[in-house]
Amino acid sequence: MNAFLAPLAGGALIGASAALLLLANGRIAGISGIVGGLLGPASRDWAWRVAFLVGLFAGPALFRATTGHWPQIRIDASWPMLVGAGLLVGFGTRLGSGCTSGHGVCGLARLSPRSLVAVATFMAAAIITVFLVRHGLVR
């Protein structure tokens, strides 16, 4: 039962935080846009961006405080693979004018056609990548 409730609670919290940010600030909870707003020219809306990111990084500590252990994360990739993947994701967020959180969580909820195309593209790329890696066609 716990294997069902934890993802459900996580999804509900992500949805609630995205809705709260949209209602309170009129902003989309897209991580690439939030971070990009901090890295660009100085703006007056930096405080909510920093608060949002602090909340993201506080998640594992909150998990530990409530469960007594750190979340288990297993990554089966080398550092060069992770760096390459990160660069490709960064390129993709620029090309797609947003990231999976902005398009997938917020854009789809707002019935945005652009977000529907972006999420379909993200998912197709992910499916193809997993297929190629799992079948040893790409290392």
Q: For 1-26, how does the pLDDT look when each residue is reduced to its tens digit (9 = 90+)?
A: 577 888 898 889 888 988 998 898 88
CA distances from 35 to 10, 14, 25, 99, 109 (A): 22, 17, 16, 11, 22
Is 139 contained in some domain? no
Is 82 contained in some domain? yes
- Per-residue pLDDT, 9: 87
Is 75 contained in some domain? yes
Structural domains of the chain, count: 1
Q: For 70-122, how does the pLDDT look when each residue is reduced to its tens digit (9 = 90+)?
A: 988 888 888 998 999 889 888 888 888 888 888 888 888 889 999 999 999 98
Is 129 contained in some domain? yes
Distance (Å, whole) CA 52 – CA 102: 14
The residue type of 7 is P
Q: For 38-65, how does the pLDDT look when each residue is reduced to its tens digit (9 = 90+)?
A: 887 877 888 889 998 998 899 889 989 9
- Per-residue pLDDT, 128: 93
- Per-residue pLDDT, 45: 84
Write out the residue range of the structural domain in which residue 8 sits: 2-134
- Per-residue pLDDT, 113: 94
Distance (Å, whole) CA 16 – CA 58: 17
- Per-residue pLDDT, 133: 84
Is 101 contained in some domain? yes
Is 97 contained in some domain? yes
